Amino acid sequence: MSGHFLQIDKLVMRFGGLTAVDDLSFVVEEGAIHGLIGPNGAGKTTTFNMISGFYRPTGGTVRLRGEPISGLPMHEVARRGVVRTFQHSTLFAELTVLENALVGTHMNFRPGIVSAILGLDAENRRGARDRAEEALEFFGLLEFAGELAGELPHGHQRALGMAVAMAAQPDVILLDEPFTGMNPEETRQMMELMFKLRDSGVTILLVEHDMHAIMGLCDRITVMSFGRFLAEGGPQEIRTHPDVIEAYLGGGRHVA
């Protein structure tokens, strides 16, 4: 057992005869923005799903501060401090913005049925509301608090997805392709929000296709190809790494 913050150790995921992720190991340091990239089908999202508890790995372990979290159901992983966002279904479109953030406070302000009926949970509700508003403020969404989340512009919806995760006060946030469908201006704003999030003490692990965003954001990058570990390093190393360039099939124009 090591002192690493988030340690992915020899993860394996098989679906029948297909090995989606094969013997993958890497380490995410506390307070870092860590990118997980690779060509389509490299197994990035599968890896994400295993870390967040959405899938149970066929083999290997994920440890947070030395404590194994792999194989636990997703809500248990979340309670241990690892909260994820989704590529699709990022928010509750039918609920208001504030209600979305309130769902995020679930773990810290566990609702009770009896106290709710008798009205004994006023303090809890106020605490949850303060926390939710704080998270919305952080992402500049407080002015939309009463609006339906589904009616927000795309960029704000993405930010709200992160606000929901942040309201849960996690140690690690897993972001699944947070820049999908964003224009350059939205991407730039989102990157600023992520730096701000990191500076507030949250470790970020993200899967992303947008190379510009990845290179500008990440402290360290892990590259996967065909389910395996390919390379790891800072943005500069990865940009010039021969294996990485080859994996992207002469994709120098994507990478560089």
Which positions touch other proteins (CB under 8 A)? 52, 54, 73-75, 78-79, 83-86, 89-96, 98-99, 102-104, 106-107, 109, 111-113, 116-117, 119, 121, 124-125, 128-129, 145-148, 164-165, 167-168
Give Cα 234 distance to the centre of its chain.
19
Residue type, 100: N
Tell me how far, at minimum, the Cβ of 208 lies from other proteins, in Å: 18
Nearer to other proteins, 14 or 106 (CB): 106
Report how far residue 242's alpha carbon sits from residue 252's, in angstroms, rounded to the nearest whole number: 10
CA-nearest of 114, 25, 105, 17 to 61 is 25
Tell me how far, at minimum, the Cβ of 211 lies from other proteins, in Å: 26
Nearer to other proteins, 129 or 239 (CB): 129
Tell me how far, at minimum, the Cβ of 10 lies from other proteins, in Å: 25
Tell me how far, at minimum, the Cβ of 136 lies from other proteins, in Å: 11
In this structure, what are the phi and psi dihedrals at residue 20, rounded to the nearest 5 degrees?
A: -80, -40
Pairing, β 228-233 against β 220-225: antiparallel
In this structure, what are the phi and psi dihedrals at residue 130, rounded to the nearest 5 degrees?
A: -60, -45
Nearer to other proteins, 4 or 79 (CB): 79
In this structure, what are the phi and psi dihedrals at residue 69, rounded to the nearest 5 degrees?
A: -120, -5
Nearer to other proteins, 11 or 165 (CB): 165
To the nearest 10°, the Cα dihedral for 104, 110, 112, 118?
-80
Nearer to other proteins, 84 or 241 (CB): 84
Tell me how far, at minimum, the Cβ of 210 lies from other proteins, in Å: 22
Tell me how far, at minimum, the Cβ of 66 lies from other proteins, in Å: 21
Nearer to other proteins, 165 or 238 (CB): 165
Task: Indicate if the alpha-carbon torsion angle 150, 152, 155, 159 is positive or negative.
Answer: negative
